[in-house]
Structure 1
Amino acid sequence: MLKDLLSLAGRKKTKMLFSCILHVIACALAVVPFFVIYLIFLEIFVKSPDQRSVWVLLALIPFIYFGMSAILVSAYNISHVAAYEILADIRIELGKKLFRLPLGYFNERNTGELKTVMNENVELLEFFLAHHLPEMISTIFVPLFMAILLFLVDWKNGSDFCVPRGSCNPHNYGLG
């Protein structure tokens, strides 16, 4: 089904792909503030913490969120433009198809059915192309990037993230 919906993208696949790449970058940036907070905790809990580096790391977080937000706005803008261009192409193709149909077809159908197909049914594709596809990417890549980050920080926590074992985890009690 996903393959069929993406095949409708036609010549706009590059815009959709670029939008998806921007969403993946935004997903990666969504994880970075957690790593920065981890670095802040590492700096705070040493014997002589460097306040300057703590404040620099703390000041970095809003810039990361601003960059992530700018990338997300661009990605959603591109996906919406591409989606509406795809919808316009589909409507033109439907119009060409209607032009080739025999007149008897129109006698059997009322104009409301044709209007529903041309307007409402085609418009339903916009939700997938402009909203659901980017959200699916976020649903996949944010946990993936978070798992990678946890493995980089501590492989035990990373394994807990990937293979949930509940509160009976021996690592929680210093046994593992």
Structure 2
Amino acid sequence: MSDEGEPRWLDETQQRAWRSFLLATTLVQDRIDADLRRQHGIAAVDYEILVRLSESGGQLRMAQLAASLAHSRSRVTHTVKRMEEADLVRRADATDDGRGVVCRLTDRGFDVLAAAAPDHVETVRAALVDLADPADLAALGRVMDAVCDALIAEHPEREIRS
């Protein structure tokens, strides 16, 4: 709201950028999910879980995993259960303090991740990186970093940029 209590409506350029952002993120995510399912039999969320586990030494507490994905604990629990049935991950009681549950990457999960990663990066390139001029991609990166910087402050556990 502005100082006068009126909404600060988006102008035509801002509205178009906003709607393009919404549509593009949906289309890119859908493409990534479809390609991973077709090529490797896993969903995009499965791939992200495998990545998070791999980047965290092979295991994470379920609560940390859910927070890093910005998903509810129940949704992550359901997804991990399905992945456990496919022998991609295993859950176990946390050994350091006896509280909570950790999710561990299995050898099969690591193999699936290693096989999927090259195809995933090609999808990312085809659906985004190779479509943008390098200067535009750099500008997009700066914009997204500013958005992340502002919003990650509220949820630092969601930070995945390196």
Q: Which protein has the bigger helix share?
A: 1
TM-score normalised by structure 2 residue count: 0.31
TM-score normalised by structure 1 residue count: 0.30
Higher relative contact order structure (alpha carbons within 8 Å, sequence separation ≥ 6): 1
Q: Which protein has the bigger strand share?
A: 2
Query: Which is greater in Rg?
Result: 1
